[in-house]
């Protein structure tokens, strides 16, 4: 009998069960906060490193900006403050005294970063300025769910300044494609729709927002990363100007972009099954667990030798020699945690010169000669590809074509609908919103992001969303 609520019976309950029983995270004592446990944080560290490497490859450098932002900064860009006002957490006292000016706990850092950019930029030689930071933010959410939507979460946020609109546009799309989409496909093994947000759905204060949208197992959409073209909105609000090559004073063009611990929620909801997590091998803190099936000096010695050989091959491996705990119980635990490969070693296996190998991505169990452990790294890469193949099938089967708004709304009951953007009409987004459905993004007919929403052959991706 499964220790988890079956997905088909109650998907939200299954999700919470996995997080708790795989020991990924738990609710903090303040509503909407979370404690990320070591197993969950180790997965985040590997994903964080993969994203960070890609960010640096685009030329951006890491920095850090204050957690507390003067409240006055938030009022400088009207659309921005209007968008975030309902979610702000404000500090009014410090050191037992009323503060002269309240401080906002950062919901995002456009304002505090641009305060610095205004002092750092004076000439075209200072551009482009490409900055990223890894930090936490606070947005006072009314309805929270661990990883998916919490009052405090971890993320990276990039902020850049460019000499021209064209440079900013190209960089925003580079982040969308080369950082976010590539990390989602190659690390998380999750295919995404890359597209342009509608005016209704774009980031507060942006001219254009681009997003990566993933399809979860229950057919709902999850926004997994966004890249914004800010135009000159913040540059004008904060006086960020530079002298161009002709000596003319001009405002910079800007971008901002971010991805959060929400990506862990996506990993759970795309790959998880009724036995627990299935972690893509590239992100798994432990890629292989070697279980000692029964006590015995020869068994432990052989299992330890297997561990040593796998370590030599560059595999992240763990030895489980807790023979006082039943083998069945330990198998359930490691399946819950999503360890990609399990190798079981017992007296009979040693006598036969082999071990039992279970692969989490394929729910397969087979035997492997002890002299053939060199196949394990290749098996891990095969299983990384297998999870991407399964997730792609999920996305494709959950995405259906529609020709009318009513049909799209109906299809969005249990998946994604794709219909021509003109079919949505002027009031279509409002009508969809009343039914709990939204336009997740706009894409070209060939699936690429849309530059001009008014162009022919533009499709809207429509779904219910987390």
Residue 336 and residue 276 in contact, taking contact as beta carbons nearer than 8 Å: yes
Tally Cβ neighbours within 10 Å of residue 301: 13
**Could you tell me where in the chain the CATH 3.30.110.30 domains are found?**
400-463
Which of 341, 365, 349 minimizes the C-alpha distance to 300? 349
Q: How far apart are CA 314 and CA 156, in angstroms?
A: 29
Residue 296 has pLDDT above 90, yes or no: no
Strand partners, 442: 196, 460
Mean of the pLDDT values across residues 65-85? 88
Mean pLDDT of the chain: 95
Query: Could you tell me whether strands 97-105 and 416-420 are parallel, antiparallel, or unpaired per DSSP bridges?
Result: unpaired
Q: Which CATH number fits the domain 400-463, given the four candidates 1.10.10.10, 3.40.190.100, 3.30.110.30, 3.40.30.10?
A: 3.30.110.30
Q: 288-379 is classed in which CATH architecture?
A: 3-Layer(aba) Sandwich (3.40)
**Could you tell me where in the chain the CATH 3.40.50.800 domains are found?**
288-379
Residue 186 and residue 179 in contact, taking contact as beta carbons nearer than 8 Å: no
Residue 234 and residue 110 in contact, taking contact as beta carbons nearer than 8 Å: yes
Q: How far apart are CA 440 and CA 200, in angstroms?
A: 10
Q: Which CATH number fits the domain 11-67+110-271, given the four candidates 1.10.3720.10, 3.90.79.10, 1.10.10.10, 3.30.930.10?
A: 3.30.930.10
Which of 266, 271, 321 minimizes the C-alpha distance to 296? 321
Mean of the pLDDT values across residues 358-371? 93
Mean of the pLDDT values across residues 96-116? 96
Q: How far apart are CA 11 and CA 109, in angstroms?
A: 34
Mean of the pLDDT values across residues 423-445? 94
CA 91 to chain centroid, in Å, comes to 29
Mean of the pLDDT values across residues 79-93? 87
**Could you tell me where in the chain the CATH 3.30.930.10 domains are found?**
11-67+110-271
Cα 88 to Cα 8, 79, 159, 162, 390, distances in angstroms: 37, 14, 20, 29, 39
Residue 370 and residue 354 in contact, taking contact as beta carbons nearer than 8 Å: yes
Mean of the pLDDT values across residues 291-318? 94
pLDDT at 34: 97
Residue 1 has pLDDT above 80, yes or no: no
Strands of 34-177 (E only): list them. Answer: 34-36, 61-62, 68-70, 89-94, 97-105, 129-138, 152-162
Residue 400 and residue 384 in contact, taking contact as beta carbons nearer than 8 Å: no
Residue 66 has pLDDT above 80, yes or no: yes
Q: What are the helix (H) ranges across 139-285?
A: 165-174, 182-186, 233-238, 262-271
Global pTM reads 0.95
pLDDT band, residue 3 (cuts 50/70/90): confident
Least confident interval from 64-78, 332-346, 369-383, 397-411? 64-78
pLDDT at 401: 97
Q: What are the helix (H) ranges across 177-261?
A: 182-186, 233-238
Residue 193 and residue 461 in contact, taking contact as beta carbons nearer than 8 Å: yes
pLDDT band, residue 2 (cuts 50/70/90): low
Q: Percentage of the chain with pLDDT > 90?
A: 90
Residues in contact with 54: Cβ distance below 8 Å, sequence separation at least 6, in sequence order: 178, 179, 182, 183
Residue 295 has pLDDT above 90, yes or no: no
Q: Percentage of the chain with pLDDT > 70?
A: 100
Q: What is the 3-state secondary structure (H, E, C) of 370-398?
A: HHHHHHHHHHHHHHHHHHHHHHHHHHHHC
Residue 273 has pLDDT above 80, yes or no: yes
Tally Cβ neighbours within 10 Å of residue 208: 23
């Amino acid at each position: 009998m499964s220790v988890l609520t079956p997905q088909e019976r109650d998907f939200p309950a299954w999700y919470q069960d996995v997080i708790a029983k795989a020991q990924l995270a738990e609710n903090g004592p303040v509503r909407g906060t979370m404690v990320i446990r070591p197993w969950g944080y180790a997965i985040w560290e590997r994903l964080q490193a993969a994203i960070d490497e890609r960010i640096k490859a685009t030329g951006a450098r890491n920095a850090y900006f204050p957690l507390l932002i003067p409240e006055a900064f938030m009022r400088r860009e009207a659309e921005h403050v209007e968008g975030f006002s309902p979610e702000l957490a404000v500090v009014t006292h410090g050191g037992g005294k009323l503060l002269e000016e309240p401080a906002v706990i950062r919901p995002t850092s456009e304002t505090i970063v641009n305060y610095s950019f205004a002092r750092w930029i004076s000439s075209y030689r200072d551009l482009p300025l490409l900055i990223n930071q890894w930090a936490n933010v606070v947005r006072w959410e009314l309805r929270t769910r661990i990883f998916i939507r919490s009052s405090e979460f971890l993320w990276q946020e990039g902020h850049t300044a460019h000499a021209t609109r064209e440079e900013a546009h190209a960089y925003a799309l580079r982040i969308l494609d080369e950082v976010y989409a590539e990390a989602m496909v190659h690390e998380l093994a999750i295919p995404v729709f890359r597209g342009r947000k509608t005016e209704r759905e774009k980031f507060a204060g942006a001219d254009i927002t681009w997003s990566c949208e993933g399809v979860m197992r229950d057919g709902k959409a999850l926004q997994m990363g966004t890249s914004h073209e800010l135009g000159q909105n913040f540059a004008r609000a904060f006086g960020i100007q530079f002298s161009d090559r002709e000596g003319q004073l001009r405002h910079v063009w800007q971008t901002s972009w971010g991805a959060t611990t929400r990506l862990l929620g996506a990993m759970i909801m795309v790959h998880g099954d009724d036995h627990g997590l299935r972690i893509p091998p590239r992100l798994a803190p432990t890629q292989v667990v070697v279980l000692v099936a029964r006590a015995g000096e020869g068994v432990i010695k052989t299992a330890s030798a297997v561990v040593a050989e796998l370590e030599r091959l560059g595999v992240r491996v763990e030895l489980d020699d807790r023979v006082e705990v039943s083998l069945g119980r330990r198998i359930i635990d490691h399946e819950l945690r999503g360890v990609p490969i399990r190798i079981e070693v017992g007296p009979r296996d040693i006598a036969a010169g082999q071990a039992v190998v279970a692969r989490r991505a394929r729910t397969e169990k087979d035997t492997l000669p002890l002299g053939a452990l060199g196949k394990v790294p290749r098996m891990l890469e095969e299983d990384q590809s297998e999870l991407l193949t399964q997730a792609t099938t999920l996305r494709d089967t959950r995405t259906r074509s529609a020709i009318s708004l009513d049909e799209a709304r109906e299809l969005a009951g249990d998946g994604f609908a794709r219909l021509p953007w003109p079919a949505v009409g002027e009031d279509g987004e409002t009508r969809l919103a009343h039914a709990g459905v939204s336009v997740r993004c706009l894409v070209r007919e060939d699936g690429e992001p849309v530059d001009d929403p008014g162009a022919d052959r533009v499709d809207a991706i429509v779904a219910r969303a987390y």
